[in-house]
A and B are shown apart, each in its own frame.
Chain A
Amino acid sequence: MGAGLNGGRTIGDVVLDLQGISLAFGGVQALQEVTFDVREHEIRAIIGPNGAGKSSMLNVINGIYHPQQGTVTFNGVTRHSVNTHKAAVQGIARTFQNIALFKGMSVLDNIMTGRNLRMKSSLLAQALRVGSAEREEMEHREAVERVIDFLEIQAYRRTPVGRLPYGLQKRVDLARALAMEPNLLLLDEPMAGMNVEEKQDMCRFILDVNDQLGTTIVLIEHDMGVVMDISDRVVVLDYGKKIGDGTPAEVRGNQAVIDAYLGISH
């Protein structure tokens, strides 16, 4: 297996480096001294049993949680904790396990919020809808339409997201993240709750994002088949600790990983 299904794409230098991340809530230790890196243009999977700390790890990367110990280095800048807004500005986008879409808005508007960082017109200009504000709105509408085409959700533009089936909502979540034109995309179980066809579609989209747009992807996923197929490297977490790190093939053969998944007490 090995190199994933993306041929012809060069994996670059380390773009995200996590050193000794420890995170605790009250008495619960979510992460313990986790260290790994992510290289540019690669697809890095984080796997592990439930409660292993995978979502917490993503939350640390984009600043929703602040670790008690450890550093996060992104694009050469090292920090003890990440500021969520700065993370967005620097090009980190993410999707959520529980689809954090804005239920009161349509699909189009949801994806348009992804462009908010880049929309600069003043309050007054927006109120009066003068030339510059109008042009800005159109320009970003075009960018969003490109994402909509890419993810094939044209038919649902005006639908309130609350009315869409689960699989489509997940796609809109991805679209909103893509609208930010991120350098680093964090996907939290993008295929959870999907049937086989939906999963194939989502895999295809993820690979396309990585291949055509060159986006670095960090992905939490439970489906081992998917992980083995599309990822370049894998990190395995269990009870907040890293127990495996390497290519899919290497990780698959790792005894500690097998034990963790088979539930052998350790």
Chain B
Amino acid sequence: MLYRENGQFKTSYRQDQQMLPILQDRIFMGLLLLFVYVGAPFIFSDYFFLSILIPFLILSLAALGLNLLVGYCGQISIGHAAFMSVGAYAAYNLVLRLPQLNFLVVLILAGLIAALVGLLFGIPSLRIRGLYLAVATLAAQFFTDWTFARVKWFTNYAPSGSVSTATIDLFGWHVDSPVRKYLFLLAVVTLFAVLAKNLVRSHIGRAWMAMRDMDVAAEVIGIRPVYAKLTAFGVSSFYVGVAGALWGFVHLGSWEPLAFNITLSLNLLFMIIIGGMGSVLGSFFGAFFIVALPILLNRAPEWIGVDMSTAMVSHLESMIFGSLIVFFLIVEPQGLARLWAIGKEKLRLWPFPH
């Protein structure tokens, strides 16, 4: 009843190709944006911002980056947190050594540096694929772990190996309170999400998906595998590098090299598996899921009235994660995003059964 396209005829290709062709979707998105930008700052508590929304936003960005590579282009990477750390340390060093740069410029530069490193580690993908490529990405992970822990220049010769950052200053607007951090991240993430959506709708996005689905046929059509794979690695690493810089500066404040370890890489992968590979929306679903689940699990025993040690909770978390991954892979390999799409399909028919 409500969710119908009746009367919404497209009279130009331009209208047909727009991001949200259905009017109800546009209204929904408008309301959502209104809520997150204007409403949320007044509604949610500082705790909610700090422990859920801020990590959620940054990890969505990272998941989005990983999704571009794995979900859209079909190249596996189980060491992607390496590029987050490159972005974080790049931003740290830029702020340290070129303090006159505006933080937005730092962010872009950090992303570009991460993109370059990503390109470098993406070169193996030109010759190897699948499981073998996974090992190559692990090399990236462990090598960057080691580099930032051992090459003292990166941490400015800090004896403990940790670095810390100052508050971000954007043209005099200090990003210090939780609400300000939230709004800043929201702006960055919305922008990047739109850019990503544009990319996957364009010919480069189609080239990526063609490489994923059938690379021999893609070559025959004239798609260059080298260009497609390297751009996927590059753009993906750019996103993830920016996310890493934001993670370090906005969320953590200070960090040690192991903040970007293999566990984070695997978490990113889980986000896109559960959220939906090959879907921009799915990256957000997955990130929210991974951020919210541990908190939920931590609180749940209290609510039910059962007593559980923190160790037990973390074991439970592992078990639930593991089962969910297997569950999603078997039952709905396209993740929560697909469930969302199915929900919308049902909504079109509502209130009729079929």
* Chain A interface residues (CB < 8 Å from chain B): 62, 64, 84-85, 87-89, 93-94, 96, 100-105, 109, 112-117, 119, 121, 123, 126-129, 133-134, 137-138, 140-142, 145, 176, 180
In the assembled complex, the Cα of A134 lies from the Cα of B199 at a distance in Å of: 12
Q: What are the nearest 8 A-B pairs in CB distance?
A: A88-B222, A100-B217, A117-B222, A102-B213, A126-B202, A119-B203, A127-B195, A129-B198
Question: Please, which residues of chain B bring their CB within 8 A of the CB of A141?
Answer: 13, 17
A-B contact list, 12 entries, CB within 8 Å: A64-B216, A84-B219, A87-B220, A102-B213, A103-B213, A105-B210, A113-B203, A116-B203, A116-B210, A126-B198, A138-B14, A145-B13
**Chain B proximity of A98: nearest CB distance (Å):** 10
B204 touches A105 (CB 8 A): no
A103 cross-chain contacts in B, Cβ below 8 A: 213-214
Pair A133/B202 contact, Cβ less than 8 Å: yes
CB-based contact B14/A134 at 8 Å:
yes
Asked if B209 and A116 make an inter-chain contact with CB atoms under 8 angstroms apart, the answer reads no
Contact A142 B214, beta carbon cutoff 8 Å: no
The contact of B198 among A64, A109, A127, by CB within 8 Å, is: A127
Q: Does B218 lie at the interface of the complex (its beta carbon under 8 Å from any beta carbon of A)?
A: yes
- Please determine whether A100 and B214 come into contact, CB atoms closer than 8 angstroms: yes
Query: Which among A93, A116, A126 is the interface contact of B223 at CB below 8 angstroms?
Result: A116
Residues of chain B contacted by A88 (CB below 8 angstroms): 219-222
Most A-side CB within 10 Å, residue of B17, B219, B222: B222
Residue B224 CB within 8 A of the other chain: yes
Interface string of B327-354 (1 = CB under 8 A from A): 0000000000000000000000000000
Contact of B199 with A113 in the complex, beta carbons under 8 Å:
no
A116 engages B199 (CB within 8 Å): no
Q: Answer whether A102 and B217 are a contact pair too, CB < 8 Å, given A85-B224, A123-B231, A138-B14.
A: yes
Residue B64, interface by CB 8 Å = no
**Given A85-B224, A126-B199: 9 more A-B contacts, CB < 8 Å:** A87-B220, A94-B220, A100-B214, A102-B210, A102-B218, A116-B207, A119-B202, A129-B202, A176-B221
A104 with B209: in contact, given A126-B202, A129-B198, A138-B14 (CB under 8 Å)? Answer: yes
The 8 Å CB contact of A102, one of B195, B196, B198, B214, is B214
Min CB distance B190 to A, Å, is 14
Q: Which of B275-310 contact A (CB under 8 A)?
A: 278
Contact B221 A112 (CB under 8 A): no
A113 touches B13 (CB 8 A): no
**Cα(A194)–Cα(B260), bound, Å:** 55
Least Cβ–Cβ distance between A49 and chain B, in angstroms: 25
**B251 an interface residue at 8 Å Cβ cutoff?**
no
Partner of A126, one of B204, B212, B214: B204
B139-161 interface bits toward A, Cβ cutoff 8 Å, 1 = contact, 0 = none: 00000000000000000000000
| Docked CA distance A233–B222 (Å) | 29
Closest chain B residue to A105, Cβ basis:
B209
- Chain B residues whose C-beta falls within 8 Å of the C-beta of A145 in the assembled complex: 13
Within 8 A of A (CB), among B206-238: 206-207, 209-210, 212-214, 216-224, 231, 235
B278 contacts which of A104, A109, A138, A180 (Cβ < 8 Å)?
A104
Q: How far is the CA of A145 from the CA of B10 in the complex (A)?
A: 14
Q: How far is it, in angstroms, between the C-alpha of A138 and the C-alpha of B320 when the chains are bound?
A: 46
B235 near A123 (CB under 8 angstroms)?
Answer: yes
Q: How far is the CA of A243 from the CA of B190 in the complex (A)?
A: 64
Cα of A115 to Cα of B210 in the assembled complex, Å: 13
Cα A119 to Cα B231 in complex, Å, equals 16
With both chains docked as a complex, state the minimum distance between the C-beta of A154 and any C-beta of chain B, in angstroms.
12
A128 to B14 Cα, complex, angstroms: 15
Task: Kindly provide the distance from the CB of B338 to the nearest chain A CB, expressed in whole angstroms.
Answer: 12
Which chain B residue has the least Cβ–Cβ distance from A104?
B213
Give every chain B residue within 8 A of A64 (Cβ-Cβ).
216, 220
Chain B, residue nearest A130 (CB): B198
Chain B residues in 8 Å Cβ range of A180: 221-222
- How far apart are the CA atoms of A134 and B19 in the complex, in Å? 12
Q: Give complex CA distance A116, B231 in Å.
A: 15
